[in-house]
Amino acid sequence: MKFDSCSDEQLALESQRGSLVAFEALVLRYERRIYRFVAQWCRDGMDASEITQETFVRAYQNIGQFKSRYRFSAWLFTIARHKSIDHHRAAPIAFERQIPEFADTADPAQLLEDQEQRVEIWNLARRSLPELQFQALWLRYVEDMQVKEVAKVLRKTQMHVKVLLFRARRTMAAGLAKEVQSPKSKVQSQEKDRGSRVEGGAKRPIHVSRFTFQSSRLSL
């Protein structure tokens, strides 16, 4: 049987029937995505790799518990989150680091001009948001999960997840406004003092208007 055209749920069912090839196909599909998710709370890549491996080992051991009426991604990310909590329960979380790059398009920064600004958005989110809000935002817009699936991963009600997303949107909008206003004020001051246009030296602002277009997607 060829598995390239199979859905995740079909692969999971084949794995339940004993197909190691089907499960390996799931690993290939999700290994990078799980790594990026758990790496947000890791101090180094080795920790992230270890948690990723533990996630798939646990998933393989418990594949019989997967119910096909749910999306496989939500089930797998639930395991990854639990493994991350277990692994870092006694370890401090490193907030001031770079968020791993991602190729997904369903994120709050998808219309920003370049990858550099997308990374700035998620670094700001990591610094500004409580952990649960950040996780909800990441799962909703990077992993493109529905609210009910995010609720399953986080073990919260759907209304709770909507509130988390709303509060995250509000916090991010305020943070992005500061990011824009600060360099803009600096440039205006320099132009006034010199009486000429500033060609460089100021940090390129993040376009808040191109982020807040997404506010409707984050609102209740």
Per-residue pLDDT, 91:
59
Average pLDDT over residues 118-143: 85
% pLDDT > 90, the chain: 35
User: Is the predicted pLDDT of residue 137 greater than 70, yes or no?
Assistant: yes
Domain 1-94 has CATH 1.10.1740.10: yes
Confidence band for 217, pLDDT divided at 50, 70 and 90: very low
pLDDT at 53: 92
Mean pLDDT of the chain: 74
More confident residue, 121 or 26: 26
Closest residue by Cα to residue 94 from 140, 141, 40, 24: 40
The band of 86, judged by pLDDT with boundaries at 50, 70 and 90, is confident
* C-alpha span between 219 and 41 (Å, rounded): 26
| CA 17/CA 70 separation, integer angstroms | 18
Q: What is residue 101's DSSP assignment?
A: P
Res 167 pLDDT > 80:
yes
CA of 88: how far to CAs of 19, 61, 78, in Å?
Answer: 32, 22, 16
Q: Rounded to 5 degrees, what angle do the CA atoms 71, 54, 28 make?
A: 55
Q: What is the domain partition of the chain in residue ranges? A: 1-94, 108-220
pTM over 0.75: no
